[in-house]
Amino acid sequence: MKLSTKGRYGLRAMIDLAIYSETEPVSIQSIADRQNISERYLEQLMAKLKKAGLVTSTRGAGGGYRLAKETGSISVGDILRALEGDLRAVTCDAQEGEGGCEKADLCVSRYVWQRINASITNAVDTMYLEQLVEKNKEIEKGKE
Amino acid sequence: MKLSTKGRYGLRAMIDLAIYSETEPVSIQSIADRQNISERYLEQLMAKLKKAGLVTSTRGAGGGYRLAKETGSISVGDILRALEGDLRAVTCDAQEGEGGCEKADLCVSRYVWQRINASITNAVDTMYLEQLVEKNKEIEKGKE
DNA sequence: AACAAATCCTAGTTAATTACTAGGAAATAC
DNA sequence: GTATTTCCTAGTAATTAACTAGGATTTGTT
């Protein structure tokens, strides 16, 4: 029951982009440096974010990544799903078998998983990059 | 971001116990049969549940397991934590380093993790075995 | 044209974790 | 004393996560 480094690094990369890519594209190298993440690994994460339509890229010298949308339109859920795939913590143990949920107690645990999944989904889909950048400013201010 | 078989099997075992152990102890074998789980593996899960004080056991012939408390006092969170350990999906990436959260963006993602963790915790700690057994009865009824 | 800075694409490898399997000791009912 | 059960520890196989590696391709600069 743990978020992998994909999700953790990826979210940090997106926050980094939100802060630094307003005026010009940001290279993987610079993100990797600031965030202390392996360049080659981050490269793969950025590919997923791009595929999901969350960032755009420009190749060649001076190139890099930028957010594809406004920070207000990118939720934490969008980011984590792009990187981790399905966020649902559990899927029904049955289903794979023939008759689906024959055994009642299986069905009951299914109800549990649904509630857990719903609460995770709700949490991540109501947080947006915009808020995080805002929050970041507050924290920075507090440090002066 | 997935619950392991420990949590999944273990919850099913606990629901099974709640249903079948009212009058007499239930053996691992019978749970394993009903739930289609490896006996030897379930054995280890039961050990964890026992260690956490959620079930009691009696050894020897005719022995088995029973719930240690009323179903109203055992939450899904209790069960999953006993089996999976810490349920928090993420812990702060910093902390390990010397100065804790120096980098502001790290701190921001920390805020995200806290919200996700809180929502998971809230979901599992407000569901009790009692409700699940109740729910099970409803489902059984619906099948007639 | 040559070079450097970047993304892009695919495959391989190492490390960690999960999900079991295995063997046998100890307790208890009959 | 024998069958049934929990208890305890160790080992192993399979899967997944977390990188590493090599090189092709694109683009800006001189």
Q: Which of A103, A18, A123 has the alpha carbon at shortest distance from B113?
A: A123
Q: Which of A61, A57, A72 has the alpha carbon at shortest distance from A132?
A: A72
Q: What is the DSSP code (8-state) at residue A75? A: B
Q: Which strand (E) or helix (H) includes residue B35? A: helix B28-35
In the structure, how far is the CA atom of residue B42 from the C1' atom of nucleotide C21, in angstroms?
A: 12
Q: Which nucleotide is nearest to B46 (CA to C1')?
A: D6
Contact list, A135 vs chain B (CB under 8 Å): 108, 111
Higher pLDDT, B131 or B100: B131
What is the CB-side half-sphere exposure of residue B17 using CA atoms within 13 A?
30
pLDDT computed for residue A98 by the predictor = 38
A117's CB contacts (< 8 A; 6+ apart) are A87, A88, A89, A90
Q: Quick check: B127 pLDDT over 60? A: yes
Structure tokens at A48: 């997923």
Query: To the nearest whole number, what is the mean pLDDT of chain A?
Result: 87
Task: List bases in chain D with any atom under 7 Å of a protein Cβ.
Answer: 3-10, 17-22, 25-29
Chain B interface, best mutation among A1, A86, A125, by max B CB count within 10 A: A1
**Which of the four pLDDT bands, split at 50, 70 and 90, describes residue A99?**
very low
B132 close to B138: Cβ distance less than 8 angstroms: no
**Which of the four pLDDT bands, split at 50, 70 and 90, describes residue A91?**
low
In the structure, how far is the CA atom of residue B81 from the C1' atom of nucleotide D2, in angstroms?
A: 39
A45 close to A9: Cβ distance less than 8 angstroms: yes
What is the CB-side half-sphere exposure of residue B71 using CA atoms within 13 A?
17
Q: How far is CA B18 from CA A104, A124, B80, B135, in A?
A: 13, 33, 16, 12
Q: Distance between CA atoms of A46 and A63, rounded to whole angstroms?
A: 14
A1 close to A120: Cβ distance less than 8 angstroms: no
What is the CB-side half-sphere exposure of residue A67 using CA atoms within 13 A?
24
Q: Distance between CA atoms of B79 and A105, rounded to whole angstroms?
A: 16
Q: Which residue is nearest to nucleotide C21 (CA to C1')?
A: B40
Q: How far is CA A37 from CA A116, A127, B56, B100, in A?
A: 31, 24, 47, 17
pLDDT computed for residue B108 by the predictor = 82
Residue found by looking up tokens 């978020």 in the block: A3
Structure tokens at B91: 């812990």
Which of A112, A124, A140 is facing B104, going by the closest CB pair? A140
Q: Distance between CA atoms of B134 and A116, rounded to whole angstroms?
A: 19
Structure tokens at B33: 């049969």
pLDDT tens for each residue of B81-121: 999 987 776 666 554 443 444 555 567 888 898 899 999 99
